[in-house]
A = this chain, B = another copy of it.
Amino acid sequence: MNDLLALDNQICFSLYAANRAITARYRPLLAGLELTYPQYLVMLVLWERAQAGQATRVSDLGARLRLDSGTLTPLLKRLAMRGLVRRERSVEDERVVTLSLTRQGEELRELAERVPHKLLCGLNIAPERLLALRNELNALLSVIETPAGKEPSA
């Protein structure tokens, strides 16, 4: 029987295992920055937006990373406690919390710059292949996130 239920036939398991394996590869590199992997992703967004001169609210982070305040609030508190990030209630709208980088948070970027290269070096896989995989994953992601019934805008 062409067993749909077999572990090996489930795309889900490949994704699950590959994601954890990649994360495990990042871990020792990020240990040097004293960042967890999700913290690293948050910092990436903050660095990117700061460079573009954009202010960042908790909900902006959430939209970019697909995470809610239940995940982000405690994570951001930890980053703030470490002195990397400032969390301030917006003056125009008291519901909003605005995030900004401290000097220390900005400076950490320089260390972080070396992480992607180090990761690639340790991976022994053709970069084009990774790029292709990334594109496929992004395509899958956009299909998943498109509400059912929606055709791709022609």
**Are A18 and B137 neighbours in the complex by a CB distance under 8 Å?**
yes
> How many monomers of this protein are in the complex?
2
- Contact of A138 with B by CB under 8 A: yes
Which residues in window 115-137 of A have CB below 8 A to B? Answer: 115-117, 119, 122-125, 129-134, 136-137
**Are A125 and B140 neighbours in the complex by a CB distance under 8 Å?**
yes
**Are A41 and B112 neighbours in the complex by a CB distance under 8 Å?**
no
Out of B20, B22, B37, name the residue touching A11 (CB < 8 Å).
B22
Residues of B within 8 A of A11 (CB): 22, 130-131, 133-134, 137
16 cross-chain CB contacts under 8 A? A4-B116, A5-B48, A6-B44, A6-B48, A9-B116, A12-B22, A14-B141, A15-B19, A16-B37, A17-B141, A18-B141, A21-B66, A21-B144, A123-B143, A124-B143, A133-B140
- Contact of A113 with B by CB under 8 A: yes
Residues of B within 8 A of A22 (CB): 11-12, 15, 140, 144
Out of B15, B44, B124, name the residue touching A18 (CB < 8 Å).
B15
- Contact of A145 with B by CB under 8 A: yes
In the bound assembly, the distance between CA atoms of A23 and B79 in angstroms comes to: 27
**Contacts A5-B116, A116-B9, A117-B4: A138 and B16 contacting too (C-beta < 8 A)?**
no
Residues of B within 8 A of A148 (CB): 122, 124
